[in-house]
């Protein structure tokens, strides 16, 4: 059964390597800023940087968290992230299963 929950969020970011992504994700989970960090290795990004088009392999990270953790999460990511301008895109979660959402919020609360 799906349940609406306006507090759940997915934050997208990327890191240059799988090792960097693993280190970032593990730290954010350990600090309970996110309940889960899903790593998607080897995505290809094409972007402008310093007036030139760049292309680079990266690891995409999907961070599962809550709205009330976003400010602290963004601040911590700025401290830990290997990029000068880290991606930090927040996607609201419209619905999820009750059992998953209970786990997510329980994990973030340390239960």
pTM, two decimal places: 0.92
Q: How far apart are CA 88 and CA 56, in angstroms?
A: 18
Average of pLDDT values for 63-71? 97
Instruction: Report how far residue 21's alpha carbon sits from residue 19's, in angstroms, rounded to the nearest whole number.
Output: 5
Per-residue model confidence as pLDDT tens digits over 17-60? 999 999 999 999 999 999 999 999 999 999 998 999 999 999 99
* Mean pLDDT score across all residues of the chain: 94
The pLDDT value given to residue 110: 86
Contact in structure between 73 and 65 (CB atoms under 8 Å) = yes
């Amino acid at each position: 059964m799906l349940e609406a929950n306006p507090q759940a969020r997915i934050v997208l970011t990327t890191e240059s390597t799988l090792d960097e992504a693993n280190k970032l994700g593990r730290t954010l989970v350990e600090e309970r800023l996110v309940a889960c960090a899903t790593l998607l290795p080897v995505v290809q990004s094409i972007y402008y940087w310093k007036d030139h088009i760049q292309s680079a392999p990266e690891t995409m990270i999907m961070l599962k968290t809550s709205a009330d953790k976003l400010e602290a999460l963004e601040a911590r990511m700025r401290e830990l992230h290997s990029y000068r301008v880290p991606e930090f895109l927040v996607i609201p979660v419209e619905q999820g299963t009750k059992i998953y959402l209970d786990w997510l919020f329980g994990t973030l609360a340390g239960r």
